[in-house]
Amino acid sequence: MWKHHLFVVLAIAWATQSMAAKRNFDFLLYNNTCTKYDDVFKRFDCAHKMVSKGRYLFDCFFMFERPLHKEAILQMILHYTPLKGIKPVKFLDVKINVCDILGQSGSHVPLMKALFKEFRKNSDLPYACPVRGDNLYSMVNYSLDASTLPPYTPIMVFNYTLLLFEHNKKIGSVHTSGATVPRT
């Protein structure tokens, strides 16, 4: 009897694996830049490196001149251009209070949850405000590859921008551009 149950479990596992959607794309990153627009930052550096085909690691270091205001806003913007598209499409434009983000343990959206989990694992930002001045914060070896994205992600070019505002004034940005390309 137990052999029959084992066979059924293995058959279900095999069927699930073979029916699961496969990623038909590779992930490319072209550029990643950090820009400071104000003297609020003492230091703001970021870089990425390819560690294997389609797998990248991000590093970011920043230090504020003074504590970040508790009403600081983080805006996330994502544009993409489909494979046969001409005009970019704005897919995401969200503004969130920085203190609210730090206090959250994740998101109900699977992609955001995965990104946030990786962020928490690789950064030393506090889990609540204040974000102190004269303290070097870092995010090291933040990993990004095709497995981060849903299997149904289309072939596209994308631009992702993260903007930081304090008192409605832009003080910094991180801009990342890349693409999903057909798997070769």
Distance CA 22, CA 18 (A): 9
The yes-or-no verdict on residue 7 having pLDDT over 50 is no
- Best CATH choice for the domain 22-182 from the list 2.60.40, 1.10.287, 2.70.220, 1.10.10: 2.70.220
**pLDDT tens-digit map of 125-150:** 888 889 999 999 999 999 988 888 88
Which structure tokens are listed for 22?
A: 């496969």
Instruction: Note the pLDDT of residue 152.
Output: 87
Query: What pTM value is reported for the model?
Result: 0.81
Q: At 108, is the pLDDT very low, low, confident or very high (cuts 50, 70, 90)?
A: low
Residue of higher predicted confidence among 51 and 184: 51
Confidence grade of residue 10 (pLDDT, cut at 50, 70, 90)? very low
| DSSP tag of 80 | E
Residue 92: predicted pLDDT: 86
- Average pLDDT, integer, range 23-34: 91
SS3 131: coil
Give the mean model confidence (pLDDT) for residues 52-60.
93
User: Helices (DSSP H) in 62-180: which residue ranges?
Assistant: 98-103, 110-122
Give the per-residue pLDDT at 21. 61
